[in-house]
Amino acid sequence: MSFELFLLLASFIALIVIDAPIAVALGLASALYIAVADLAPLMVVAQRMIAGIDSFTLLAIPLFLMAGMLMVQGGLAPRIVALCSALVGRATGGLAIVMILACMLFGSLSGSGVADVVAIGTMLLPAMKERGYHPGFSAAALGCAGSLGTVVPPSIVLIVYGTATNTSIGQLFLGAIVPGILLGLGLMVVAWWISRRNGWRGGDPVSGATVRKSLIEAVPALIAPVIIVGGIRFGVFTPTEAAGAGVVYALIVGGFFYRALSLRETFTILRDTVEMTGAILLVIASASVFGWILAAEQVPQLAVHGIEALTSNATVALILLMALVLILGTFMESLAIILILAPVFIPVLGAYGIDPVYFGILLTINLAIGANTPPLGIDLMAACRTGGIPMSAAFRYLLPFIGSMVAILLLLVLFPEIITGLTGAR
């Protein structure tokens, strides 16, 4: 390792340790490297940052964010929760199962784990407290369930991965459907098991008329993921066009069908979308400079040689990569990991014949796990803040939920056909 590369990595780690924002850490470390190595004029930093976000596909990010917020304010998310409660709320641990199922369905609208956590948690955490669920259990279940928003399409994380690696986003969305369902079912089993041990019962029985009413009211909300994912699957939309269609649909349904959107709320959502998009694109722009430097230092080639020296087995190599990402996910943000490491991993995947679509879905699941593991655990942190619950209270309930997600990740590593059977990849 050259001195300049060591300086790049050391300065980046030091900035992360002192809790600098990830975009600042990436940008400052890159600028320091260029200044010391005399690789290029510092003007290149700005040029590479602009080039990193100069992508039509990235327009899908603000559009999906806006669509998700419109669906919350427009009444789609509450009706999804009401339908889930009518269907499964009577079971043991009913509200916890409702929370997980609602997060799965709303994740197919928002594409964001944190948005999923805040939207569903705001509605269900107070109700779970009233029913006697332990606050730590509620937060752990919400954090893990909310992270499904980064797996099920239209996942913003998958969009960024596809953009960074020139991988088909439509194929990524298609391949993520079954893993997302498996993860949700695994979390439901854990929630039922813990609830059964603690005597947390379901809600009151509901009549068939109530179920039918909830279903009819939720139909417009349930149509939204069909339009978005189905449109991409059958070639009607590109991902960016599907995001735009989602915004239009949310405006029509929330504003005219449910009559829950006012002009003032719409402008507030526009402002929030701009703020969130700016933060995401700044990370992408800074990471593009960092990645350009890693490529110049031939880090991808070094990674290939290093892993090939350890094993010639593709499955073992895949497990090693997953273990590395799992460790990094405990203290790094998901988008930063993708933007820094995905371009490094692609040559490794090619050397072992691993399909990048298949790997991208595994990577996203891994990052969903990391979003709930201390010390960062951004989804778990959002769940605790939403409910005013100390993170320490959630730790004792967290391990079974994380264990189920890890088990499903290993299942997908050992049986790739679960993903590749839908995508047609090999």
DSSP letter, residue 226: I
In a domain, 341, yes or no: yes
Kindly state the average pLDDT of the residues 130-158: 89
On whether residue 10 sits in a domain, the answer given is no
Q: Residue 424's pLDDT is what?
A: 60
For residue 33, tell me if it sits in a domain.
no
Residue 203 identity = G
Task: Note whether residue 409 is domain-resident.
Answer: yes
Residues near 256 by beta carbon (within 8 Å), at least 6 away in sequence? none
Instruction: Provide the whole-model pTM.
Output: 0.82
- 50/202: higher pLDDT: 50
**Spatial contact of 288 and 51, defined as CB atoms under 8 Å apart:** yes
Task: Report how far Cα 188 is from the mean position of its chain's Cα atoms.
Answer: 19
* Domain assignment of residue 3, yes or no: no
Q: Does 332 have pLDDT greater than 60?
A: yes
Task: Provide the token pair at 31.
Answer: 């600028």
Query: Distance of alpha carbon 322 from its chain centroid, rounded?
Result: 16
Residue 253 main-chain phi, psi, to 5 deg: -70, -45
Residue 22 lies in a domain: no
Domain of residue 149: give its range. 40-423
Nearest CA among 69, 77, 121, 116 for reference residue 95: 121
Q: Position of tokens 């891994």? A: 366
Which spans in 203-313 are helix H? 208-225, 231-233, 239-252, 263-296, 299-310
Q: Give the model's pLDDT for residue 426.
A: 52
Task: Output the average pLDDT for the chain.
Answer: 84
* CA dist., res. 381 & res. 398, Å (int): 12
Express each pLDDT in 10-53 by its tens digit. Answer: 888 888 778 788 788 888 888 888 888 776 777 777 888 888 78
Q: Is residue 264 part of a domain?
A: yes
Report how many domains make up the chain.
Answer: 1
The rounded distance, in Å, linking the Cα atoms of 341 and 301 is: 13
For residue 189, being part of any structural domain is answered with yes
In angstroms, the first-to-last Cα distance of the chain is: 35
User: What percent of the chain has pLDDT above 90?
Assistant: 15
pLDDT digits (tens, 9 = 90+) for 47-92: 888 887 877 778 888 888 888 788 778 877 788 888 888 877 677 8
8 vs 28: CA distance, rounded Å: 9
Q: What is the phi-psi region of residue 259: left when phi exceeds 0, alpha when psi lies from -120 to 50, beta otherwise?
A: left
Residue located via tokens 């778990």: 380
